[in-house]
Structure 1
Amino acid sequence: MSLPSRASFADIRLYSPSKLKCSVDLSDNTNLFGMPPAAERALREATASLASRYPTGYAPDLRQAVAAYTGMEPAQVTTGCGSDDVIDSALRAFLEPGDALAFQEPTFVMVPYLSKVNALRALPVPLRPDYDIDVDGLLATRAKLIYVCTPNNPTGTVIPRASMERLVDNASGVVLIDEAYAEFARESFLDLARTRPNVLVTRTLSKAFGLAGMRVGYAVGHATLVTEVEKARGPYKVTGLSERLAAVALTQDVEWMKARAAESLAIRARLEAELGKLGLEPLPSEGNFVLVPLAGAPAVAERMRQRDVNVRAFQGLTGIGDALRIGCGPWTMMEAALGALREALP
């Protein structure tokens, strides 16, 4: 059998584009309201040994904190260098080169990339016109692992519970549910990770918790799934400093996070209203961002960058076309973005 080729260096650069530095950067959907206060105190109080010594293998303190936050047991938790690293470890744990990886399209840009670097067969299945997943299409792939993202990046749309449960209950292998934006959404599928033996839910501290620079992600699921991912990840994926800050944020900064998430959602609603006044129709989002279908979006984004505002442009998204993804930050940043957008529109 001829195996898919692995990604080249040129492919890697496609996923890490250089960008003009802008004073207002709304391109990566991170928390723009500052660092969690308890985590900031932990950073100031950190000792030099956190940098000079290896961290404890497999991040036990972080696993304990994640377990408490999610209502799982530590044996049901694995961690990594951001949720994309956890996803990568899961792919290597459950798939061999040449195996099929099915996923909704469009979705998180790292997933088709990770399928390349792991020499997998990527099987994208387009979203339905209502932005629900095509359950029958995903099941028909018979893939050993199906990846779904909710709220989905870049669309911001969510998967209805009935669709998710039908997918999980009928999948022939593992279903990996990416909940990077779960703290902004009305509903989570952590209950499926507790009750179904084939479900792994990944999350990150890069978004609502405001620790993107610490690179901390995790997954929860049945202990047998977690054990396999732990075998694939290696012992030192989370630095000692990152573990300390993430554990503190998960145990002491949850109320701070919830308040900032609520503020982001209020700003998103205000942004959607302002975009409507410009004749634009963002997709229905439950993330801290909106996706705005717009012909010529890459050129518009470039004109916005020239006005010191950075947003993410997509070209030719399946079922959508060109679009701008705009993250939500303090309203002063949104005012600057809207001003730049008004001037940049054709």
Structure 2
Amino acid sequence: MTDRLSFARALYDAVPLYDPKRTPVALDLTDNTNLWGLPPAAERTLRELPVARVTRYPSLYAAELKEALASFVGASAEHIVTGCGSDDILDSAMRAFGEPGSVVASSEPSFAMIPIFAQMNGLQYVGVTERRDHQPDLDALLAAQPRILYLCTPNNPTGALLARETLERAVREAPGVVFVDEAYAEFSGVSAIDLARRVNNLLVIRTMSKAFGLAGLRIGYGVGAPALVREVEKSRGPYKLNAVAEQMALAALRDDMDWVQEHVALAVRNRERLAVALRDRGYAPLASHANYVCVPVARAVDVGQALRARGVAARPFPGLPHVGDTLRISVGPWDLMQRFLEAFDDATADIYGTAS
């Protein structure tokens, strides 16, 4: 490690670079992206994009995309802010609303970047273990007096859906702003956007990386009261969504919604089919409302390594509260799920010494 720079910010000393330590494999089921591929109109747009779209700067604040996203979610453009992935929205929103030293509270387990974003922005992170029913411990979260309260629904990695009454109470009683991360909302059919349009302290964060199959383009957006999203927009600045990404996202929203909805339905169907296959093998997968299955598996890290040795990757989560070791498996076409199950059977037989 190099010596610390004397002019570097001290609060960054303990901020790690994100490093999931994942070697490439033939079948990667760790990222929960769309394994069916790219929406056709978006792909056509990429192939036919005029050179001028690349040689000139993109639009200041993606006004055209805001209109399309607003139509998709049932809001108006003034309720929308865009960003370079939902990560960018989260980071910018923490910067917009967090004063130095103020509290960011989150239920755990959840999105691993939240404590890192809090640390990067000079905020104090408070993590509160979720209840046994996989709902947040809202009493404990509110007791932390958070300037920012982060909730994820469906939650990553468990796939649990946040109860509506819990959300409404959080918005009603939180002393600051509530962030609701809906990266997987398309697979649940449930959203807090109707509430975000009516109150001024709720920001719903979404992405086009999952259901829309555009993860490599990094398109995220937030939905909230106009005054709220304006503050996030100030924080993130202009020209932050590249022109190619904006045009491909517009094509998907305008011309490919049937494709998106069809593949969301396939993901949901195969999620349930995979859960049944795991139950048939004696496992007890958690109820999921996302495009992945989280299943308790003894010695999950070892099983994950054994899977990788067979060219298949699933994400191990050792020691989840109230659950123990688990694997999170992204859902895709059934032939890929069959490949996973075959590798899983071999891997668990190797680790446990007997066929599962």
Q: TM-score range by the shorter chain?
A: over 0.9
Cα separation, partners in 2 of 1:292 and 1:4, compared to 1, 3 Å: farther
Give the RMSD, CA atoms, in angstroms: 1.4
**For residues 85 and 46 of structure 1, do their structure 2 counterparts lie closer, same or farther at Cα, with a shift above 3 Å needed?**
same
Distance, in Å, in 1 between the alignment partners of 2:164 and 2:142 is 16
Q: Secondary structure at the match of 2:282?
A: coil
- Relative to the length of structure 1, the TM-score reads 0.96
Unpaired runs of at least 5, structure 2:
1-8
Q: 2:79 aligns with which of 70, 76, 80?
A: 76
Partner of 2:12 in structure 1? 6
Are 1:182 and 2:185 an aligned pair?
Answer: yes
Q: How does 1:240-319 map to 2 (within 5 A)?
A: 240-319=243-322
Deviates more, 1:326-335 or 1:115-124: 115-124
**Partner residue, 1:331:** 334
Task: Quote the residue 2:6 is aligned against.
Answer: none
TM-score, normalised relative to structure 2 = 0.93
Bigger Rg over Cα: 2
Distance 1:316 1:238 in 2: 37
Q: Distance in 2 between matches of 1:340 and 1:83?
A: 32
Write the mapping of 1:1-346 to structure 2, written as runs, cut at 5 A.
5-6=11-12, 8=14, 11-12=16-17, 15-345=18-348, 346=352
Distance 1:61 1:7, change over 3 A: farther
Q: One-letter code of the match for 2:80? A: V
Q: Is the 8 A contact 1:183 1:208 kept in 2?
A: yes
How far 1:7 sits from its partner (Å)? Answer: 5.5
Question: Aligned partners of 1:48 and 1:8: how far apart in 2?
Answer: 42
Point out where structure 1 has 5 or more consecutive residues left out of the alignment. Answer: none
Distance in 1 between residues matched to 2:12 and 2:281, nearest whole Å: 43
Q: Distance in 1 between matches of 2:111 and 2:85?
A: 14
Partner amino acid, structure 1, of 2:225: H
1:195 counterpart SS class: coil
Once the two structures are aligned, what percentage of the paired residues are identical? 47
2:302 counterpart letter in structure 1: A
The Cα shift of 1:98 comes to 1.1
User: What is the number of equivalent residue pairs in this alignment?
Assistant: 341
Give the Cα separation in 2 of the matches to 1:50 and 1:79. 19
Q: 4+ residue stretches of structure 1 with deviation over 4 A?
A: none
For the Cα contact (< 8 Å) 1:4–1:121, is it kept in 2?
Answer: no
Instruction: Pick which of 315-324 and 214-223 moved more.
Output: 315-324
Superposed CA offset, 1:220-245 (max 9, x none): 10001001000100112110000111
Aligned mates of 2:252, 2:180 — CA distance in 1: 23
Q: Which amino acid aligns with 1:175?
A: V
SS state at 1:311 partner: strand
**Which is further off, 163-172 or 209-218?**
163-172
Q: Which amino acid aligns with 2:23?
A: L
